[in-house]
Amino acid sequence: MQPVQLTEFPHSPDHILHIFHEFQDRDSDNNFISSSSVRRIAEHLDLSMSQVYGVLSFYHMFSYRPRGKYVIRLCDSLSCRIVGSLDIYTYLRAELGLQRKKISDDGLFSLEIVNCLGSCHTAPNMMINEQLITNLTLEKVKATIHSLKEEAKDETE
């Protein structure tokens, strides 16, 4: 994984969301922005750390606490709910031993509920990190989780 070089970005606060995305995706295995990253970002943009935290904590996609290697964002808006998103939520919580916004024991997964991924014609939907997975069924979710576990196993070997 390539660490993020802040010199890639201009010293202007309007790039802050872009910087957050890059740090979260590239600088950590745990999909979060650490306090040392916040310090570096603050220095680069000439903001205080609390200003950076202020922006960071406003947006749902960012986290200043470590999360799983795979962040599951399950949509539970109306269009997904009425075609079974709640069953998938219940299944995932049981299967991964997850409470909301907590990490699974193996450190691989965290589960979040989100409001609409803008793909209601393929409901129910979820995103795993940056990838959208549509037309969910329990079988499909099961297979996806299984293949991610295998993928993680291969990486560590």
Partner 1 sequence: MKQNKVSLTHYAMKKQDIEAYIGLGGYHGLKAALDMDRSEVVKEVQDSKLRGRGGAGFPTGKKWAGVPPSEETYVVCNADEGEPGTFKDRYIMENTPFLLLEGMTIAGYAVGAKKGFIYIRGEYPTIAETLKKALEAARSQNMLGNNILGSGFSFDIEIKRGGGSYVVGDETALLSSLMGKRGFPWMKPPYPTEKGLWDRPTVVNNVETLSYVPLILAHGAAAFSKIGVEGSTGPKLYSVSGHVNSPGVYEFPMGVSVKDLIEAAGGVQGQLKAVQIGGTAGPIYDAESLSMQLDYDAMQTAGGTLGSGAVVVMNSKTNMAGVLDVSMRFFAEESCGQCFPCRYGTRQLNYMAQRIAAGTGRQSYLQLMQDTGEVMQATSFCPFGQSVSTPLNSLLQHFGDEVKGFIQQQDYVKEVI
Binding site for partner 1 (CB under 8 A): 12-18, 20-21, 45, 54-55, 58-62, 73, 76-79, 81-83, 86, 114-123, 127, 130, 132
- CB closer to partner 1, 134 vs 144: 134
CB 75 within 8 A of CB 125: yes
Question: CA 117: distance to chain centroid?
Answer: 13
The CB-of-103 to partner 1 minimum distance in angstroms stands at 19
The CB-of-147 to partner 1 minimum distance in angstroms stands at 20
- CB closer to partner 1, 47 vs 152: 47
The CB-of-49 to partner 1 minimum distance in angstroms stands at 15
- CB closer to partner 1, 62 vs 91: 62
The CB-of-150 to partner 1 minimum distance in angstroms stands at 24
**Enclosing H/E stretch for 111:** strand 109-114
The rounded distance, in Å, linking the Cα atoms of 48 and 41 is 9
Q: For residue 2, what is the DSSP state?
A: P
Q: Which residues pair with 126 in a beta bridge?
A: 74, 133
**Enclosing H/E stretch for 57:** helix 49-58
R_g over Cα of the chain:
17
The CB-of-77 to partner 1 minimum distance in angstroms stands at 4
Q: Which residue has the tokens 């960071």?
A: 56
- CB closer to partner 1, 15 vs 140: 15
- CB closer to partner 1, 61 vs 138: 61
CB atoms within 10 A of CB 51: 16
